[in-house]
Structure 1
Amino acid sequence: MRLVALLQARNEQRFLPGWLENVAPAVDGIIALDDGSEDATAEILAAHPKVLQVIRNPAGQPWNERGNQMALIKAGRQHGAQWVLCVDADERLEQRFARDVAVILDDADAKGIEAYSLRFRELWNDRSHYRKDGIWGRKARYGLFRNDIRQTKFDPRPLHRYWMPLEIVTRLASVGAHLPHNLYHLRMVFAEDRHARYQRYVTMDPDSRYQPQGYDYLVDETGMELATIPPDRDFLPLRDAALFE
């Protein structure tokens, strides 16, 4: 299997229908981990025809980002995924990524590329605009990487960690590449979601140990500049229920 999407989720039924419509066309299969959800997360995932496996953690446990991601990487290897794509439930790939991904992976094979980053766009106030001022315009994330079973070292950090093996991370200058494709983040659209995200990270990382710049910027609109998503960079679904409920 050439490309498998990996997803860790807890109580994400709001975002999952749109995520599945967005990500499924780009991949050969999906492996998900339901981290003790109390809503319909597990059932929504299990019902989709492209979902190969749903790993289920018991309810009531603390969020364990590293443990969840390691379990998903292991499952991806068991399913024979040559490449993995890591996209959270509240994120959306621009529509043309699904059209281009086969060529992207062919190019990687030809050039020895092992990981790609995507431009990370934080949507703000609606589904058509994202922030471009300051740090917002520079965000990118390595979410597409080769799944080599010989690579066995992984980021020890519990938060804001690399999914990909450290054998790739330490060689990004030679084996990494940047895609022009956008990855849109929906959980910053509404002010209440922005503040909830801020509170979550401040609680998990009160001393900003895992993000030196801290988290105040998540709710700071000083000097805000917004860019409009061009029609050819839009994403599916065009009417995402997560943004209208």
Structure 2
Amino acid sequence: MNFFERIAIKEYHDVSILIYVPEDASLLVSVVLQNIHFYQRNGIELVIVANRETDIPVIESLLDAYPFVNWRIVYVNCGVIFCINEVSLQMILRRVRNSYLMIVEPGWVFKTDVIYQLRYMLENHPYAYALGKVILDKSYGLVGNIRYSCLLVHKLYVDRAISTASTFNGVIELIKVLDMLRLRRINVGQAVLFEEKKYLNQEYSRRDFCCLKSNGASPSDLCGHYKIVFDYMTDRRNCFSSDFVKKFERFDCTYPENLHKKFSIICLIQVKNESKYLSELLTHLEQRCDGIILLDDGSSDNSYEMAVSDKILIKARKKPSAYFNDLENRNLLLQLGHLVLADWFFFMDADERFHDNYSDLRSIANIEDVDSVSFRLVHVWNEADKYRKNLPEGEDGIVRRYRMFRNKGYMQINSKREIHFLAMPYRRNEYHADVLLIHYGLMDSAVRKEKYIKYLKQDSNGVKQGYGYSYLLDENIELGDVRVL
């Protein structure tokens, strides 16, 4: 079977992965390190359950080394080994944020993109659950297979299984209950895992993964003994010593204590050689957000030094480059944003300003069922109070740009283009706001000509923009008045 690219899934996988800590916690570390690039994606949270206090420092070392994973660490302090049953799943369901639950044995390493493959199948078959396949050796030799290597199911159906069955112990029994609910079983043979060699030496049941003996304790012993040790949406650790920070030419956090506070709205902005207008820009933004994260794209002037504001939480500067990579810049801003706690983020360009009559972001942030927000935008043309109406896109010169989004943990923009892409990590529960951005970057004809040449160097056929760049040189233009918008 071919697994085609589904942008909606890649933008937000919507999967919570449940893994318990085995007897040897170092085994989990080994497996996580091999799977780490699969976890560092939009809409994936990793829920690790430990039942020994001595395991917590081992897991916390992973948090420090890999800050761009949506970690949730749960400590079960009940004196028994964690096992999958109706009580433990009830506790877990209350603590996962995503719609789909994946249960994986701690000793299994992804050979293929198992998360995407199983999620892809359930996107096409919603009333179903999906199973991967594990091999007992890294080669594809006939060593032996375990039929149920991992399970992916919508948590709604797990909840129904809990309500239907008075008791069950282990994933195999959970699967039997899902079958009783007449869910379709999908065995995805292409979704392959293999066993970490260290795990082959451990004693465990090959017939029912995630089912360990509970030392005679009843399932009810698990009640009331769950504690959240770390939650990526409410906790932050000091990540400034990580390799991520070292990639910048300069990195500054003015008020480190603020990184442990929760902010409502944070602006993500990139600048380059904007020292002339930077002070005015920051004053403009201060009125509309609670914090600012700024990336300097290798300015040759003193823009970085001029970027001073009480609202700036983090600022960083890249090494100079003649090549403009907007995708890389915005994804770096999203990574910087993950170092702080926030409810909402919005992207802003240095040559944009909010219209005074249409700039209420806080009302939008208070709407519960909204995650992604588009703003209106006009391009100022020739004069500061005139905008161009006859553009190749939009309606009467007013175009839509997705800019504001609810924080859902670590996120990146998935695009094959480095310029002219949808500047949002995901689109879910969309809202088209009346907020109006005034774009001044095309006001001057000389600047338009420079950008025409610049864009053609990176996009000679004009396919990345979608309608080319000849409009930048048009003389047959129709203008509107910004003041009457």
Q: TM-score interval w.r.t. the shorter chain?
A: 0.7 to 0.9
* 1:131 counterpart residue number: 388
Residue 8 of structure 1: SS of its match in structure 2? strand
Q: Does 1:154 align with 2:414?
A: yes
* 2:401 counterpart residue number: 141
Structure whose CA Rg is larger:
2
CA, structure 1 residues 140+15, in 2 after alignment: closer, same or farther (shift >3 Å)?
Answer: farther
Alignment TM-score, normalising by the size of structure 2: 0.43
Q: Distance in 2 between matches of 1:227 and 1:22?
A: 24
Q: Distance in 2 between matches of 1:195 and 1:63?
A: 17
Q: Distance in 2 between matches of 1:2 and 1:225?
A: 40
Residue 392 of structure 2: SS of its match in structure 1? helix
* 1:24 counterpart residue number: 286
Q: Offset at 1:202?
A: 1.1
Larger helix fraction of residues: 1
Residue 349 of structure 2: SS of its match in structure 1? coil
Q: Does 1:75 align with 2:316?
A: no
Residue 82 of structure 1: SS of its match in structure 2? strand
Of 420, 436, 439, the match for 1:182: 436
Q: Distance in 2 between matches of 1:153 and 1:123?
A: 27
Q: Distance in 1 between matches of 2:453 and 2:441?
A: 13
Residue 341 of structure 2: SS of its match in structure 1? coil
Q: Distance in 1 between matches of 2:310 and 2:301?
A: 20
Q: Is the 8 A contact 2:273 2:302 kept in 1?
A: yes
Q: Distance in 2 between matches of 1:130 and 1:211?
A: 20
Residue 449 of structure 2: SS of its match in structure 1? helix
Q: Offset at 1:51?
A: 1.0
- Residue identity matched to 1:50: K
Q: Percent identity?
A: 30
Alignment TM-score, normalising by the size of structure 1: 0.82
Q: Per-residue CA shift, 1:86-119, capped at 9, x if unaligned?
A: 1100111112344x22112112x2xx11111111
- Residue identity matched to 2:434: P
Higher relative contact order (CA 8 A, sep 6+): 1
Q: Distance in 1 between matches of 2:344 and 2:311?
A: 16
Q: Distance in 1 between matches of 2:327 and 2:391?
A: 29
* 1:89 counterpart residue number: 350
Q: Distance in 2 between matches of 1:191 and 1:150?
A: 40
Q: Distance in 2 between matches of 1:152 and 1:17?
A: 29
Q: Is the 8 A contact 2:411 2:425 kept in 1?
A: yes
Residue 417 of structure 2: SS of its match in structure 1? coil
CA, structure 1 residues 198+61, in 2 after alignment: closer, same or farther (shift >3 Å)?
Answer: closer
Q: Does 1:206 align with 2:460?
A: yes
Q: Distance in 1 between matches of 2:285 and 2:392?
A: 26
Greater shift in the superposed pair: 202-211 or 23-32: 202-211
* 2:450 counterpart residue number: 196
* 1:225 counterpart residue number: 478
* 2:377 counterpart residue number: 120
Q: How many residues align?
A: 220
Note the residue ranges of structure 2 that are not aligned, 5 or more in a row: 1-262
Q: Distance in 1 between matches of 2:467 and 2:363?
A: 36
Q: Is the 8 A contact 1:26 1:97 kept in 2?
A: no
Q: Is the 8 A contact 2:378 2:398 kept in 1?
A: no
* 1:238 counterpart residue number: none
Q: Distance in 2 between matches of 1:17 and 1:91?
A: 14
CA, structure 1 residues 225+207, in 2 after alignment: closer, same or farther (shift >3 Å)?
Answer: same
Q: Offset at 1:138?
A: 4.2
Q: Offset at 1:158?
A: 1.0
Note the residue ranges of structure 1 that are not aligned, 5 or more in a row: 234-245
* 1:239 counterpart residue number: none
In angstroms, what is the RMSD of aligned CA positions?
1.9
**Structure 1 residue runs of 4 or more that deviate by more than 6 Å after TM superposition:** none
Q: Distance in 1 between matches of 2:411 and 2:346?
A: 17
* 2:295 counterpart residue number: 33
Q: Offset at 1:78?
A: 1.3
